């Protein structure tokens, strides 16, 4: 584990559609996290007035957020890691937040696989040195994680 915790917070959001069991959607998220989870729920209506529930989870403790990030990163396939690394600027916003979208069905089964559609959306907020480039800093963090996996 890196000496310094650079992930300062995380936010998870996922939709539970009318055709889905809300408890199973919650289980998919809980399978990603190794700590107690409490969801905020918001009831919404879909295009045809079908009920949709938005589930949100906020992780504000640095240790939990860093552990959460590292657990997800460790479960990604080498191909998904390479895809993220090669396209990192597409996953980082102007504030330096890093975004991942994880397959909801596979997360329910304990796997972490990138997926754009009907996914679990995760936003990681990183702590950067003053005037540091977020993409470069996150790439360096990834490389450190890879070095630790090899050792």
Confidence of residue 1 (pLDDT cuts 50, 70, 90): very low
Distance CA 33, CA 67 (A): 9
Q: Please check the confidence at residue 23 and state whether its pLDDT lies above 90.
A: yes
The answer to whether residue 1 is domain-embedded is no
The answer to whether residue 62 is domain-embedded is yes
The answer to whether residue 56 is domain-embedded is yes
The domain that holds 75 is classified in CATH as: 3.30.1440.10
Concatenated DSSP letters of 81-112: HHHHHHTGGGTB-TT--EEEEEEHHHHHTT--
Is pLDDT larger for residue 126 or for residue 48? 126
Distance CA 27, CA 33 (A): 10
Confidence of residue 2 (pLDDT cuts 50, 70, 90): very low
pLDDT, tens digit (0-9, with 9 covering 90-100), for 28-41: 999 987 767 789 99
Number of domains in the chain: 1
Q: How many CB atoms lie within 10 A of CB 127?
A: 15
Distance CA 110, CA 89 (A): 27
The answer to whether residue 86 is domain-embedded is yes
Q: What is the extent of the structural domain holding 55?
A: 7-150
Q: Please check the confidence at residue 3 and state whether its pLDDT lies above 70.
A: no
pLDDT at residue 57, rounded to an integer? 93
The answer to whether residue 26 is domain-embedded is yes
Q: Please check the confidence at residue 43 and state whether its pLDDT lies above 90.
A: yes
pLDDT, tens digit (0-9, with 9 covering 90-100), for 88-131: 999 999 888 999 999 999 999 999 999 999 899 999 999 888 88
Report the pLDDT averaged over residues 71-75.
92
pTM for the structure as a whole: 0.90
């Amino acid at each position: 584990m890196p000496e310094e915790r650079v992930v300062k917070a995380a936010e998870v959001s996922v939709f539970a559609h009318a055709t889905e069991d809300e408890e199973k959607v919650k289980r998919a998220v809980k399978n990603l996290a190794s700590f107690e989870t409490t969801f905020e729920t918001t009831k919404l209506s879909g295009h045809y007035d079908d009920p949709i529930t938005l589930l949100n989870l906020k992780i504000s403790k640095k240790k939990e957020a860093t552990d959460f990030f590292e657990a997800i990163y460790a479960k990604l396939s080498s191909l998904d890691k390479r895809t993220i690394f090669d396209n990192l600027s597409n996953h980082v916003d102007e504030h330096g937040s890093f975004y991942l979208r994880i397959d909801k069905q596979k997360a329910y089964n304990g796997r972490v696989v990138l997926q754009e559609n009907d996914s679990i959306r995760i936003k990681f907020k990183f702590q950067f040195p003053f005037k540091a480039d977020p993409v470069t800093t996150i790439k360096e963090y990834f490389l450190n994680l890879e070095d630790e996996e090899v050792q």
